[in-house]
């Protein structure tokens, strides 16, 4: 199989590369020669012509994993056009290309398609109602994809992603914890963190799964994050506890921490559908946080 992965420099793209290159345990090395990782330099999703040019000048792919996205949640409030192009229109164009190539598409979406007003875990069929531009453009991407590809696509919504790479909550807390004795962190937003390596592993499991390989599987949405629930404030406390950083964390409300983009209060998502369909193990968030932080410690 020729498997194309976009967003090679992002958290998820790098995590997939890490597993493909190193992790014999999940037995994907049989595929390793067939993975092609590309970044913005090869394929600029903000440009319709760049997308067309890339696929016209490369052999057909069997699977495309779209990890690239416009992810600057606050900046998106000011950059609707760009966010919409990358998260919606480019996804639509990709879906058309993938369909024409009779290939399969794995696309990543977000918990921010929900408004966060539910008091239970969201399932894949729950009503979407994004409350910021990023969520709106990601939802538009999901919908466009579903209209074009009735079959052969998998959409995975994930949440609160962190990794060893780039800017994320864990890295930010570790940096701030060194600079300050005390920090205010929002305590009234609840969710489940996702270690990018776990999601990368889940994606590779899906590719290996017979159900995915079969032709004409209906396009489906799945939810994936780590198991368990936590607030940002308690997440920060756990990061400092593991790293043995002496920084006091004080809970504050969302109202006390205004941001350009609104954040949903509860984005817990049920993982039942993805675990049942693809037999995927979902580690607890604490177990995965420890795994990530022990790698960070070694670096
Ligand atoms: N991070 C989270 O907490 C979170 C939560 C829910 C869902 N998600 C979704 O999960 C997926 C992966 O997220 P992530 O955290 O790995 O994102 P990330 O680290 O921000 O990486 C996104 C990647 O997309 C690339 N990109 C942005 N604009 C592009 C363009 N115009 N053309 C080509 N590439 C472009 C970036 O390229 P450069 O490196 O060149 O900038 C970057 O490598 C995304 O679909 C995101 O929406 C993330």
User: Which residue's CA lies nearest to atom 19 of ligand 1?
Assistant: 10
Q: 216 vs 28, which has greater pLDDT?
A: 216
Per-residue pLDDT reduced to its tens digit, 225-261: 999 999 999 999 999 999 999 999 999 999 999 999 9
- ∠ Cα 172 176 179 (to 5°): 150
Q: 272 vs 33, which has greater pLDDT?
A: 272
Mean pLDDT of 3-25: 89
Please tell me the predicted confidence (pLDDT) of residue 34. Answer: 86
* Catalytic annotation present for 122: no
| Rg of the chain in Å (alpha carbons) | 19
Q: Which of 54, 122, 134, 222 is an active site residue?
A: 134
Per-residue pLDDT reduced to its tens digit, 31-83: 555 899 999 999 999 999 999 999 999 999 999 999 999 999 999 999 999 99
Q: In 10 A of CB 245, how many CB atoms? A: 15
- The SS3 assignment for 161 reads strand
Separation of alpha carbons 139 and 238, rounded Å: 32
Q: Ligand 1: distance of its center to the CA of 244 in Å?
A: 30
Per-residue pLDDT reduced to its tens digit, 122-133: 999 999 999 999
Please tell me the predicted confidence (pLDDT) of residue 25. Answer: 47
Q: Which atom number of ligand 1 is nearest to the Cα of residue 199? A: 10
Cite the beta strand spans of the chain per DSSP E. Answer: 3-6, 35-37, 63-66, 104-110, 153-158, 161-162, 182-186, 190-191, 194-195, 220-223, 230-231, 248-252
Which residue ranges have their beta carbon within 6 Å of ligand 1? 7, 9-13, 39-40, 43-46, 67-71, 86, 108, 110-111, 138, 158-161, 166
């Amino acid at each position: 199989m020729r498997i194309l992965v976009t967003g090679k420099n992002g958290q998820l793209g790098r995590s997939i590369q890490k597993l493909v290159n190193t992790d014999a345990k999940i037995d994907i090395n049989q595929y390793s020669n067939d993975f092609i990782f590309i970044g913005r330099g090869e394929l600029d999703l903000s440009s319709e012509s760049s997308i067309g040019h890339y696929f016209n000048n490369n052999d057909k792919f069997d699977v495309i994993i779209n990890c690239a996205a416009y992810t600057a949640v606050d900046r998106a409030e000011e950059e609707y056009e760009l966010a919409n192009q990358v998260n919606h229109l480019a996804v639509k164009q990709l879906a058309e290309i993938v369909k024409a190539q009779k290939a399969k598409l794995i696309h990543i979406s977000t918990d921010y398609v929900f408004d966060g007003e539910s008091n239970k875990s969201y399932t894949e069929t729950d009503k979407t109602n994004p409350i910021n531009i990023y969520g709106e453009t990601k939802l538009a991407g999901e919908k466009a994809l579903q209209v074009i590809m009735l079959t052969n696509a998998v959409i995975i919504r994930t949440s609160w992603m962190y990794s060893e790479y780039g800017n994320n909550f864990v890295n930010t807390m570790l940096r701030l914890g060194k600079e300050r004795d005390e920090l205010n962190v929002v305590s009234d937003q609840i969710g489940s963190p996702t270690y990018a390596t776990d999601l990368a592993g889940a994606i590779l499991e899906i590719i290996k799964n017979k159900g995915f390989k079969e032709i004409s599987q209906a396009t489906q949405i799945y939810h994936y994050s780590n198991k368990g629930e936590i607030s940002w404030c308690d997440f920060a406390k756990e990061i400092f506890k593991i790293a043995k950083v002496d920084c006091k964390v004080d809970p504050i409300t969302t109202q006390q921490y205004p941001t350009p983009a609104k954040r949903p209060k509860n984005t817990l998502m049920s993982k039942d559908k993805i675990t049942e369909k693809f037999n995927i193990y979902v580690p607890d968030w604490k177990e995965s946080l420890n795994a990530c932080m022990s790698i960070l410690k070694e670096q």
